[in-house]
Amino acid sequence: MDLLEQTIPQLVSGAAERFGDRIAIEEGDLALSFAELASESSRAARAFCAAGIEPGDRVGIWAPNIHEWVLAAIGLQAAGGVLVPLNTRMKGNEAGYILEKSGARMLCTVTGFLDTDYPGLLRDVLGGASSARPVSDLPCLERIILLRGTGPATTSWSEFLGEGEAFSAEEAQRRAEAVSAEDLSDILFTSGTTGKPKGAMTTHGQTLRCFQAWSEIVGLRRGDRYLIVNPFFHSFGYKAGWLASIMCGATILPHPVFDVPAVLERVGKERISVLPGPPTLYQTILAHPDREKFDLSCLRLAVTGAAAIPVELIHRMRRDLGFETIITAYGLTESTGPVTMCREEDSPETIASTSGRAIPDVEVRCVDKEGKEAPRGEPGEVVLRGYNVMQGYFDDAAETEKAIDSEGWLHTGDIAVMDDRGYLRITDRIKDMYIIGGLNCYPAEVENLMHSWEEILQVAVVGVPDERMGEVGMAFVVAAPGASLTPESVIAWCRANMANYKVPRRVEIVDSLPMNAMGKVTKFVLRERAAGASSQHGD
């Protein structure tokens, strides 16, 4: 990447010059070269400009991994807009909160993905379309653009692009050139212990610098064919996915739904060389009974993290899946992406048992409760300082102040041990977060959603170990007076009202929750109880 390329629109233009006719993105019968990607992104930018998107305006994208997602993101950013990705597993109330909180003026989405009508989910809980707006209870949302599918009170992607023809290409180019490295590129919403998602703001310059470092460390290169299974709404699929591919000249191959036979077939048929994902992805592939029937000889690079990894998994990924390079990493939304990463030369034991050492130009420490650096080998909270620390939480100064101290250190809430080499081993999470299949899950957010059901009086959720998913949620529920709850009815309600990864896999109906003297639920007691229940059942 040219050092002069400090914004995402500049990156795309530079990639068109460097890589030209090489294929940038493939999806089904569609193949766009880097030059065509730049051209199509410019068309999208003109459409966003014509629709009235001004610098700093927020635009949501709520869609699976498809090529239109990439074009819409680059187009809105070239118009000066700020990308707000939404998790495709969200229900209408969850997505509505993010759209309202961010003040998004437009939403790009789809209908028909896994039989889901995303605009319909919003309207079911926030009112139907009116003459003034597409969702009556979202006052800032002016338009819904359907990247794919059809629906009332929406505009199709092709129609939207057509409207952009009325906007001068030269003026759109000037708008793109006016975007600076210090301007916000995106707001990625992440949950916290308050139970409400918070929007981490990062700039174009931060994003490009961070993922240039990531790309160099993992060894992503021109000509790689990158199957992006990680969702585009997450920084792994977005920034370490299609953005890094554009940076390095790799071909983007979006994959919308993880299905082992489909992935195995695509690897051989489409000569995939890069396949990052959470550990569960590789464990599921290795466990597939027909794996040996597929040609996996083209696989070269794996990047994983977000969960404890057995060292045997690293050995099997090399031996049975043929990966030459396996990198583990640790990062968070608030740090733009990676914080620490292993290196290619590290041993399987280091890759499995640690999350690596700090990326260049970023300081990482483990500190005690007084904020003093913990001795090497002793646990402490992970804090970091550097160019990759977010600009803050959108419209939330109080939470920003809690997260970033007066000296610029971002407090992660994760507990780790740092060894003499500076390598981190994550051991616990202050914020109660657990990781299910590579996705962060916050008990407070799940509890907040469950409390909205009048049948529930109290609820506490903890993460419990799970052989396949790493961890899953277990809910301890106190029924409201007169309510008749069963574990099955609670799980059924959760499935209907929250993203499926947030749904507790186990539920226990209890008479009361254990509390300390301050009236706070003592979750360590619940974790011990959950562990005892697991051992009794032989889980």
In the chain, count H helices and then E strands: 18, 26
Asked whether residue 471 falls in the same domain as residue 419, the answer is: no
148 domain-assigned? yes
Asked whether residue 161 falls in the same domain as residue 304, the answer is: no
215 domain-assigned? no
Extract the tokens encoding 187.
């707001």
The CATH code of the domain that includes 473 is: 3.30.300.30
Of 429, 458, 485, which residue sits at a domain end? 429
Asked whether residue 443 falls in the same domain as residue 501, the answer is: yes
Asked whether residue 464 falls in the same domain as residue 478, the answer is: yes
pLDDT value for 218:
97
pLDDT value for 192:
47
Asked whether residue 451 falls in the same domain as residue 376, the answer is: no
Extract the tokens encoding 337.
């992406």
Asked whether residue 137 falls in the same domain as residue 23, the answer is: yes
Backbone conformation region of residue 186, classed left if phi is above 0, alpha if psi is from -120 to 50, else beta: beta
The residue segments making up the domain with residue 124 are 8-201
391 domain-assigned? no
Beta bridge mates, 117: 111
- CB contact at 8 A, 538 and 505: no
Q: Rounded to whole angstroms, how far apart are CA atoms 504 and 487?
A: 10
Sign of CA dihedral 280, 326, 2, 40: negative
Provide the number of structural domains found in the chain. 3
405 domain-assigned? no
Q: How many CB atoms lie within 10 A of CB 484?
A: 8
- CB contact at 8 A, 448 and 467: no
Of 201, 217, 245, which residue sits at a domain end? 201
252 domain-assigned? no
pLDDT value for 518:
44
Asked whether residue 314 falls in the same domain as residue 461, the answer is: no
Asked whether residue 418 falls in the same domain as residue 443, the answer is: no
Asked whether residue 177 falls in the same domain as residue 303, the answer is: no
pLDDT value for 193:
43
Q: At what angle do helices 8-19 and 34-50 cross, to 10 degrees?
A: 150
The CATH code of the domain that includes 420 is: 3.40.50.12780
- CB contact at 8 A, 432 and 193: yes
Containing H/E element for 186?
strand 184-190
235 domain-assigned? no
23 domain-assigned? yes
- SS3 string, 190-206, reads ECCCCCCCEEEEEEHHH
pLDDT value for 519:
53
Asked whether residue 170 falls in the same domain as residue 61, the answer is: yes
Asked whether residue 171 falls in the same domain as residue 35, the answer is: yes
Extract the tokens encoding 387.
């160019």
The CATH code of the domain that includes 52 is: 3.40.50.980
The structure's pTM equals 0.85
Sign of CA dihedral 263, 268, 272, 278: positive
pLDDT value for 12:
98
Asked whether residue 90 falls in the same domain as residue 174, the answer is: yes
Backbone φ, ψ for residue 474 (5° rounding)? -125, 130
pLDDT value for 536:
52
pLDDT value for 534:
59
Binned average pLDDT, 10 residues per bin, the chain of 539 residues: 78 97 97 98 98 98 98 98 95 96 98 95 95 94 98 97 97 97 96 73 97 97 96 95 98 93 95 91 88 95 79 91 95 95 94 93 95 93 97 97 97 92 84 82 83 88 90 94 94 95 95 71 87 59
